[in-house]
Amino acid sequence: QVQLVESGGGSVQAGGSLRLSCAASIYTGTYSDYCMGWFRQAPGKEREGVATIDRSGRTNYADSVTGRFTISKDAAKNSMTLQMNSLKPDDTAKYYCAATSGCLIATMTPAGYGYWGRGTQVTVSS
């Protein structure tokens, strides 16, 4: 069992930066047992993978954010962050933190994750 809480969303102009955080409360196993990821969903669109990180720290990024976003995790603090730079209006969405256990890879597919936070809104204006 895992509980996830996101923070750090907000409104920013294009070209700006935001840093999202995800605090995890782990009730089964340890933080290192979980693959983690950031996903986003814009109005009228399907939820999509933004960045994921596996148990070894290997990362994956959506093509649309590669070079602009950085995912990281801190096992000592049971936390994960998403540093978002050079934000674009197309990045506007609700961003969700997700986790899954027993994973070999950190998939970019939302269906691969069983634990979700409630999300935090990111709005980028032009």
pLDDT at 28 > cutoff 90 = no
Q: Which of 66, 54, 118 is nearest to 91 (CA)?
A: 66
C-alpha separations of 75 from 24, 41, 96, 97, 124 in Å: 10, 26, 19, 15, 30
Average pLDDT over residues 78-102: 96
Tell me the residue type at 78. N
pLDDT at 104 > cutoff 90 = no
pLDDT tens track for 43-54: 999 999 999 999
Higher pLDDT, 19 or 1: 19
**From 8-17, 28-37, 47-56, 79-88, the region with the lowest mean pLDDT:** 28-37
C-alpha separations of 54 from 10, 35, 117 in Å: 27, 4, 18
Q: What is the mean pLDDT of the chain?
A: 95
* Vertex 112: Cα angle to 109 and 91 (nearest 5): 35
Q: Which pLDDT belongs to residue 84?
A: 98
DSSP codes of every residue in 13-44: ETT--EEEEEEEEESSS-GGGEEEEEEEE-TT
pLDDT at 27 > cutoff 90 = no
